[in-house]
Amino acid sequence: MSKVECELKINGLSKKINIYNDKPLVYAIRNDFGLTGTKLGCGLEQCGSCAVIIDGEKKLSCNLLAIECEKKEIITVEGLKIDSELNHVQEAFRNFNAAQCGYCTSGIIISITALFDKNKKPSSQEIQNALDGHLCRCGSHSVVLNAIESLKEN
Ligand code: FES
Ligand code: FES
């Protein structure tokens, strides 16, 4: 199998990379762009740790081909910062210490950012729907929910 040139735009930075055409986006993000906040967990669209925002929508990057993401705006957890400051979701998670090992955290922050970008006052059901598919083996769920609830008050 030969490599192909692929131009990706991640967090506003465009870069051409040479990759096999079956390379999942998560590997391009981590290995070719050096953005290790996006985690590879299950690789099967079942844990949520690899979530990124693509053209405004949350997507799982483990089963998306990198070459299918050309000409799209890809945002990782590193790209959520605004003028070098944490965004409101990142800030809430920091204030509430809403993580233990942190492996699931960037994926959850991506999903919640995508939710609040569209809906400033989501219902509990909408929050649960956004969290559906995000696994946390450390059991940080209650403090994560507290951090998210605090966002509704702002
Ligand atoms: S690594 Fe993508 S959903 Fe688990
Ligand atoms: S904080 Fe460890 S998996 Fe969620």
Identify the CA nearest to 89 among candidates 42, 122, 47. 122
Confidence of residue 1 (pLDDT cuts 50, 70, 90): confident
The domain spanning residue 49 has which CATH number? Answer: 3.10.20.30
Q: What is the pLDDT of residue 154?
A: 56
Average of pLDDT values for 126-148? Answer: 96
Q: How far is the C-alpha of 9 from the C-alpha of 75, rounded, in Å? A: 9
The first and second tokens of residue 97, run together, are 């210490």
Shared-domain flag, residues 67 and 7: yes
Atom of ligand 2 at shortest range from CA of 137: 3
Q: 70 CA to middle of ligand 1, Å?
A: 21
Chosen domain end from 56, 77, 98: 77
Shared-domain flag, residues 95 and 144: yes
Q: Domain range spanning residue 129?
A: 88-152
Q: Is residue 83 part of a domain?
A: no
Confidence of residue 150 (pLDDT cuts 50, 70, 90): very high
Shared-domain flag, residues 66 and 97: no
β 3-10/73-75 pair status = parallel
Shared-domain flag, residues 65 and 94: no
Atom 3 (ligand 2) nearest CA: 136
> Cβ neighbours of residue 64 under 8 Å, at least 6 residues apart?
24, 25, 26, 54
pTM for the full model?
Answer: 0.96
Ligand 1 contact via 64 beta carbon (within 6 Å)? no
